[in-house]
Amino acid sequence: MLFERETLEKIGEFVEKKDLKSLESLIKEPKRKRVKKSSFRSALMVSPHRVRHLNRLDSLEADVAIINLEDGVSPQLKPVALRLAALALSYIKSGDTMMVVRVNPLDSGGAEEIEFLAPFRPDAFRISKVKNDSDVKKALDLVPDADIHLSIETKEALLNIEKLKLSSRVSAAYLGILDMLADLRIPHSALKISNPTADYILSRFLVGCKTAEIFPVSFVYQDYKNLEQFRKWCLYEREMGFSAKGCISPDQVDIVNEIFGSDFERERAEYIKARFEEMSKRGISGFSDEKYGFIDEPIYKDALNILRKFNN
């Protein structure tokens, strides 16, 4: 836990009163070293106005923690959440979890949030509602010494992904698919596995990011209690080529870390290799499998390539 009981009690009191100056008085000089990751599996949304969530930042299983100042916080609480984000960053000593701050759109408070939080050395700033390279250039100018992550949640950004890599510091992008659907005036009911519209958005985002050499993170699944469907989405996106997904609960993090982890990849490849070779002895080269769907020679060869990667 980040905070001792006495400090935690003070924070709770100051938050209740919306006492910004007293919150600022608790902020310390940050000492943590930045964490740099070119790839990761799980990115967990953390609500900065909920002190109990911030208090666990140093013990998360997630590869990335997204301190979310944007749509997860009401306008009335944003000043409090901003101070709490700075407070948490100043108390974190070390760890493997990458700390990313999701700020509001740059012209709607995001620029000021970056200015306030930059001294506390988050590992990256995630910029909301990006539309074009001008937004990215502005973010790079505001943040001279940390990575920039992009929220791809507008139709303009979806069409311009390949043009957004203006620096090696633009290292990751997150698909905000519900905002994207709203921007496109497409009902959220289209967000179903194997829906052609959802598939197009996912693949356009994925291929655009891969082309631009920006690490792609798939969307947050909002129904956090429906872990069965969440697991199906993870498996589906894994097959599409994704290797990371946004999360809003620790249970989702566990599933993402399992499915997008190297152990899962190796076990899947070993299973496919064994099943294909077993069926080949019977003269069958293509068949439906209960666990991984249709398996044929190309799937078998892909499994062999994956196993070579681990054996080299």
Summarised one tens digit per residue, pLDDT across range 72-113 is: 899 999 999 999 999 999 999 878 999 999 999 999 999 999
- Residue 312 clears pLDDT 70, i.e. is over it: no
In the prediction, which pLDDT does 23 show?
Answer: 97
**Mean residue pLDDT across the chain:** 94
- Residue 262 clears pLDDT 80, i.e. is over it: no
- Residue 309 clears pLDDT 90, i.e. is over it: no
In the prediction, which pLDDT does 31 show?
Answer: 85
CB 286 within 8 A of CB 275: no
* Domains of the chain by residue range: 5-260, 267-311
Q: For residue 255, what are its two tokens?
A: 């599933």
- Residue 181 clears pLDDT 80, i.e. is over it: yes
Summarised one tens digit per residue, pLDDT across range 1-21 is: 899 999 999 999 999 999 999
In the prediction, which pLDDT does 127 show?
Answer: 98
Q: For residue 245, what are its two tokens?
A: 């997904």
Q: What is the mean predicted confidence (pLDDT) over 141-167? A: 96
Summarised one tens digit per residue, pLDDT across range 201-246 is: 999 999 999 999 999 999 999 999 999 999 999 999 998 999 999 9
**Homologous superfamily (CATH) for 5-260:** Phosphoenolpyruvate-binding domains (3.20.20.60)
